[in-house]
Amino acid sequence: MKRVSQLTALALLIGLSSSVSFAADMLSPLTFSQLQQQKGVAIDTRLSAFYNGWPQALNGSEGHEPAALNLSASWLSAMNDAQLTEWIKQHQLQSSTPVALYGADNDNAAVAERLKKAGLTHVSLLGDALSQPERLQKLPHFEQLVYPQWLHDMQEGKAVAAAPKGDWKVIEAAWGAPKLYLLSHIPGAGYIDTNDVESEPLWNKVSDDKLKALLAKQGIRHDTTVILYGRDVYAAARVAQILLYAGVKDVRLLDGGWKTWSDAGLPVERGTPDKTTPAPDFGATLPGQPQLMLDTEQARGLVHRKDASLVSIRSWPEFIGTTSGYNYIKPKGEIAGARWGHAGSDSTHMEDFHNPDGTMRSADDIAAMWAQWHILPSQQVSFYCGTGWRASEAFMYARAMGWQNVSVYDGGWYEWSQNAKNPVSHGDRGPDASR
């Protein structure tokens, strides 16, 4: 193989960078007002964290332009042409729809190239993007979904936006022994086995006494900020939702989980967790928010109501009764009157809620997906799945979106299906069947 000198490689790199910048310069600029007049669409090419509301610099602007879509340049390597075409279709963009990009020059150029290749013919730059903070939109609680660089900066002692007000901990959550954790984890992270927060036979939340003991062992009080991540986002979400139920005031998720940290190339360590000093007491009544976890009777009270939704976060084959989704759950079907909140291809995936990098899909996309099934933020909404993991992830997203009256039906399909007297639905059906 022919060797390339460092100077040659540098020249090639500079040339590539220059060509990308040149491509960005070739895009004509539009103001936001002009884009609106043309009934066009703004596209934010930055990371979803910045789109959601995190400032790129301390005290910088927060959020995205009104009704802007998020197509991060960082996703492009994970999106083939068919997937990008599907994204365009989902967002109802036509070949002639004016779109204006904003973000870093290189990112805009990369996204523009792919959009033009996909058939969009009116691609411009948004010349006055992020220049008027008062018009920007953001997740009401964007701080509940943290991103890797923010966490790393905080670990390094740097000033960060939305910093915890007191003590904080980073904890990895997963089922079983910490096999992958021992090989590589976020520096300083503790570990929680989900077996410590839920138990057989139905995998419901453990008793409040056991939960209190676990929190004490982990050194967690009601005023400790807990930042959770997982190899599977929904494992961390399950623990997060239970901690919120217990009364921990500030619980956050690393958006996209371990993958986003690994992809960012940030430091890792291996080995067992550092020794934790137990907390002498929780410092508040436990549970602090019992309304966040519903039992079967409470769940039953939500069905067939216009002001409430019992929401199935299960795959479509599970929802219509083709499969139970689990080898240890035999009955197939769905809670009669439940509304479908989407999930993914099977019981171990949540693609419907994820961007290509595994981070949370935009709030507008999720809200529109739910609205099709008459699931609205004004309602009392309780999510469930088979045993609580997927439901907890949907709960955490709804909470970040500012939905006020949300909870998890802890027992889910597993508990509901154990009682033959509980009404069950089977077969293909649409949104109006739940009314």
Confidence of residue 14 (pLDDT cuts 50, 70, 90): very low
Residue 11: is its pLDDT beyond 50? no
pLDDT score at 50: 98
Concerning whether 385 is annotated as a catalytic residue, the answer is yes
pLDDT score at 433: 82
What are the tens digits of pLDDT across the range 32-55? 999 999 999 999 999 999 999 999
Q: Model pTM?
A: 0.93
Residue 430: is its pLDDT beyond 70? yes
Which of the residue ranges 5-19, 146-160, 216-230 would you say has the lowest mean pLDDT? 5-19
174 forms bridges with which residues in the sheet? 193
What are the tens digits of pLDDT across the range 325-374? 999 999 999 999 999 999 999 999 999 999 999 999 999 999 999 999 99
Closest CA to 340 of 383, 387, 388, 386: 383
pLDDT score at 25: 52
Q: What is the mean pLDDT of residues 6-17?
A: 43
State the burial class of residue 77 (Cβ atoms within 10 Å of its Cβ: 0-12, 13-18, 19+). Answer: exposed
Taking the CB of residue 214, how many other CB atoms lie within 10 A of it? Answer: 19
CATH of 29-135, one of 3.60.20.10, 3.40.50.970, 3.40.250.10, 3.40.50.11540: 3.40.250.10
d(Cα 32, Cα 42) in Å, to the nearest integer? 8
Matching residue, tokens 């769940």 = 299
Taking the CB of residue 127, how many other CB atoms lie within 10 A of it? Answer: 16
Residue 6: is its pLDDT beyond 50? no
Q: What is the mean pLDDT of residues 106-126?
A: 97
d(Cα 112, Cα 117) in Å, to the nearest integer? 8
pLDDT score at 435: 73
Residue 123: is its pLDDT beyond 60? yes
CATH topology of domain 291-433: Oxidized Rhodanese; domain 1 (3.40.250)
pLDDT score at 95: 96
Q: What is the mean pLDDT of residues 164-171?
A: 97
d(Cα 46, Cα 359) in Å, to the nearest integer? 13
Residue 1: is its pLDDT beyond 80? no
> What percent of the chain has a predicted confidence (pLDDT) above 90?
92
Which is catalytic among the residues 385, 398, 401, 406? 385
d(Cα 228, Cα 385) in Å, to the nearest integer? 21
Confidence of residue 434 (pLDDT cuts 50, 70, 90): confident
Taking the CB of residue 105, how many other CB atoms lie within 10 A of it? Answer: 18
Looking at the domain covering 142-285, what would its CATH class be? alpha beta
Closest CA to 413 of 309, 299, 302: 299
Closest CA to 372 of 342, 328, 413, 415: 342
DSSP 3-state of 173 = strand
pLDDT score at 4: 41
8 A C-beta contact, residue 330 and residue 324 = yes
pLDDT score at 356: 97
Q: What is the mean pLDDT of residues 84-103?
A: 97
d(Cα 308, Cα 194) in Å, to the nearest integer? 30
pLDDT score at 223: 98
What are the tens digits of pLDDT across the range 366-423? 999 999 999 999 999 999 999 999 999 999 999 999 999 999 999 999 999 999 999 9
d(Cα 311, Cα 392) in Å, to the nearest integer? 12
8 A C-beta contact, residue 169 and residue 190 = yes
What are the tens digits of pLDDT across the range 271-325? 998 889 999 999 999 999 999 999 999 999 999 999 999 999 999 999 999 999 9
CATH 3.40.250.10 maps onto the chain at 29-135, 142-285, 291-433
